[in-house]
Amino acid sequence: MLRRFMIIGGLLVAMVLAGGFALLMQRQYVYDGNIRRIAEPFPVESERPGKTVGEAQNWLLIGSDRRPGEQGAQRADTIMILHLPADRRRIYVVGIPRDAYVPIKGHGNDKINASYAYGGPRLLISTVERFTGVRIDHFAAVDFAGFVAMTRALGGVDVYVARTTYDPMNKVTWKQGKVHLDGEQSLLFVRQRYNLPGGDFDRIRRQQAVIKAMGRKLRDSSLFAIDAFLQESTKSLSVDPGVTMSLLRGLAFDLRGVEDLTALTTPHLGSATIRGASVVKIDEKKAEKLFAAVRQDALADYVEANGGINDTELLY
The tens digit of pLDDT for each residue in 172-203 reads 999 999 999 988 898 899 888 888 888 777 88
Residue type, 244: T
Provide the total of helices (H) and of strands (E) in the chain, helices listed first: 9, 17
Give the separation between CA 140 and CA 136, rounded to whole angstroms: 11
- For the segment 120-141, what is each residue's pLDDT rounded down to a tens digit? 999 999 999 999 999 999 999 8
Q: For residue 19, what pLDDT is reported? A: 35
Query: Under a CB-based contact definition with an 8 Å cutoff, are residues 4 and 219 in contact?
Result: yes
pLDDT, residue 16, reads 39
Phi and psi dihedrals of 179, rounded to 5? -120, 130
pTM: 0.83
Looking at the chain, the whole-number percentage of residues with pLDDT higher than 90 is: 44
Domains, in order of start, for the chain: 2-153+222-305 (3.40.630.190)
Confidence class for position 313, pLDDT limits 50, 70, 90: low
Answer whether 104's CB lies under 8 Å from 85's CB: no
Residue 45 has pLDDT above 90, yes or no: yes
User: What is the reported pLDDT for 221?
Assistant: 74
Average pLDDT over residues 192-218: 82
23 pLDDT exceeds 60? no
pLDDT (0 to 100) of residue 227: 78
Between residues 295 and 33, the one the model is more confident about: 295
Among 10-14, 232-236, 307-311, top mean pLDDT goes to 232-236
pLDDT band at residue 21 under the 50/70/90 scheme: very low
Q: What is the mean pLDDT of residues 145-165?
A: 87
Per-residue confidence band for 2, with pLDDT thresholds at 50, 70 and 90: very low
pLDDT for 58: 97
